[in-house]
Amino acid sequence: MTRFNTQLVHGLPIDDNITGAVNPPIYNSSTYAFESVDAMPRYDYARSGNPTREFLERQIAQLEHGTRGFAFASGLAAIHAVLSVFSAGDRIVVGRNIYGGTYSLFNEFFSRWGLTVEAADTHDPEALRAAVAGDRENGISPAQAVYFETITNPLLDVNDVREISSIAHEYGALSIVDNTFVTPYLQQPLDLGADVVIHSATKYLAGHSEVNAGLVVVSRDDLAEKVYFAQNRLGGVLAPVECDAVRRGIQTLALRMDRQQENAAAVARYLLAHPLVKVVHYPGLPGHDVTGLSSAEALAAKGLKGGGGVLSFEVIPGVDPSVILDNLNVFRLAVSLGAVESLAELPCRMTHFELPREERLKVGITDELIRLSIGIEDKSDLIEDLGQALDKAYGAFISTHAEADVLGQLSAGVFA
């Protein structure tokens, strides 16, 4: 059996041709010829199956140690397909801090079709257990699923997949995990008890900001049948050229993530020491999630091999985060994450604008929060770029508070 890094490069052959091509072909065909009327061909119509897509689907299932994989036209299309297996009246418990697009899908789309959504603190086992259990005396049946992110977006809290899945299973609920931020390189949630793993493959798996894609991997054949039905009937499949782009990205996943994590740790340490920064959120920092443990110990305690390449930080009140973002040169002001180039964004105005402000503030997404997706550039260039942008923000801060003893008040913690 091959090891993970070899699986990234080679995947699993699907025995589709005898040309000896090193790379699997891109099959741009919408339909396939039958040998006869009575034939049951492996492929008949591209929505139902395509050799290029099958290669990618088999590869992600192999990497996530799942029964079967599925490729979709975007991360949200993948989530949509998974949620479509539930029925009106079913109740889903959702981690209270999730991506804005997922929040919208739950609360503005599926709620219209009778799916009940309840937010819960996935870091509080008893609160989660109570939410999943429901309250039969008051007509609230146990939940059918728990949906959460391995590392939350954008506050980078680490969820314990094993613990959450165990609680879900106590009540017969599915454990559905968005594993986008860490990929199977850093964690394989199915091995920890999850039933379904979802990826926005647009991010780390493809890795080059050139394709939208979503992937799903399931642990059981019965779930595979349901997700395939949704994939085939709803039709949100990933096209062959895009499948190949994700496959090529996967080949260098480990190399990219190693550099991204190294850079992210360096940037996080720099920001942690900066006087204009109030707090830094990054799982690779000692004590980020479990006080008293080293970063490696804290992550390993929750089944992770690394902290990934995304971090966020809050500037002190009075400092305008838009001044920082508008003056970055190496970082690009853009949503998304996981690509070779570094990106910066303001969650309250960009990735999480769908959340009402009061909801954002409840989960800690303040107006001063900046999210960074760290790429593979030289880490010194990234730090220098942030430094000059922070200098400009400090200049604007001084100008705004020209009459105050700014340095003295900063020292006294007035603006902290």
pLDDT in tens, 80-109: 999 999 999 999 999 988 888 899 999 999
Domain 254-412: CATH architecture, name and number where available? Alpha-Beta Complex (3.90)
pLDDT at 416 over 50: no
What confidence category does residue 403 fall into, taking pLDDT thresholds of 50, 70 and 90? low
So which residues are the catalytic ones?
47, 99, 178, 203
Name the segment(s) of the chain with CATH classification 3.90.1150.10: 254-412
Q: Which of 82-96, 316-330, 402-416 comes out lowest in average pLDDT?
A: 402-416
In terms of Cβ atoms closer than 10 Å to its own Cβ (0-12, 13-18, 19+), residue 23 is: exposed
Where do the DSSP E strands lie in 184-256? 196-200, 214-218
User: Which helix or strand (DSSP H or E) is residue 8 part of?
Assistant: helix 4-10
Whether the Cβ atoms of residue 131 and residue 93 lie closer than 8 Å to each other = yes
Check residue 65 and give left, alpha or beta (phi > 0: left; psi -120 to 50: alpha).
left
pTM over 0.85: yes
- Per CATH, the number for 4-249 is 3.40.640.10
Q: Copy the structure tokens of residue 227.
A: 């997700």
The distance of Cα 263 from the centroid of its chain, to the nearest Å, equals 19
Whether the Cβ atoms of residue 212 and residue 241 lie closer than 8 Å to each other = no
* pLDDT in the model for residue 139: 87
Q: Copy the structure tokens of residue 256.
A: 């990219």
Give, rounded to a whole angstrom, the gap between the first and last alpha carbons of the chain.
54
Name the segment(s) of the chain with CATH classification 3.40.640.10: 4-249
- Residue 196 and residue 147: Cα distance in Å, rounded? 9
User: Which helix or strand (DSSP H or E) is residue 146 part of?
Assistant: strand 145-149
Residue range 308-316: mean pLDDT, rounded: 97
Q: Are strands 174-178 and 214-218 parallel, antiparallel or unpaired?
A: unpaired
